[in-house]
Amino acid sequence: MYFLAGTLIVIAIIFFMIVSRGFRLLALGLLAVAGVGLVVLLAYLRDENEARRQQMARQEQAATTAISLDDIPLSDVSLTKEGSSWTLKGTVTNNSKFDLAAIRFLVTIRDCPPNEACKTVGQESTVTRGDSYSISDRDRTVVPAGQVRLFQTYLMEFKNMPPAKSPKWEYKITEIRAASR
């Protein structure tokens, strides 16, 4: 039914464009106005998208620079193996003025036999997790400003890690993320 009505309308428009000079001019004028409107709309949407992108970049910059490494001392940090997975655990104190949302770590395991140079046998990046934090919800916090909390990271697998005779591990904080405001 709609197809038939649409076909009849198109045929009528074609007919009137052929037989009526005034209708042709009106149709071309409306087409030109619609074209200009489309160009203006696309320019507006492009500007809005660019403004949104810049706002997100500013928020990302603020989230990753608001808290310094000196503001979040860690203590009692341990690397534990649970089955085939590993977890970094410890205590974090948030001495900053901002709520802490996440800490990203680079954990490295080295084999350091006596009288030999240490060799890296495993390395993996991980991020803190908690009951009040998930990667998709960055507005929730792990540690409110001025408070202390236990932290735990997501599981790490250290795939293809060979057995180590004298394993030693270390961690490095690679990113500190403040909660969005």
150 C-beta neighbours (distance < 10 Å), count: 12
152 C-beta neighbours (distance < 10 Å), count: 15
Indicate whether 77 and 162 sit together in one domain. yes
Q: State the residue range of the domain holding 87.
A: 69-178
Both tokens assigned to 179? 């909660």
Question: How far is Cα 151 from Cα 77, in angstroms, rounded to an integer?
Answer: 9
Indicate whether 147 and 108 sit together in one domain. yes
Query: What would the pLDDT profile of 66-88 be if each residue is shown by its tens digit?
Result: 899 999 999 999 999 988 899 99
**How many domains does the structure of the chain reveal?**
2
Indicate whether 53 and 98 sit together in one domain. no
Query: What would the pLDDT profile of 26-66 be if each residue is shown by its tens digit?
Result: 888 888 999 999 999 998 999 899 988 888 877 777 777 78
Indicate whether 142 and 161 sit together in one domain. yes
The answer to whether residue 136 scores a pLDDT higher than 50 is no
Q: What's the distance, CA 156 to chain centroid?
A: 20
pTM above 0.85, yes or no: no
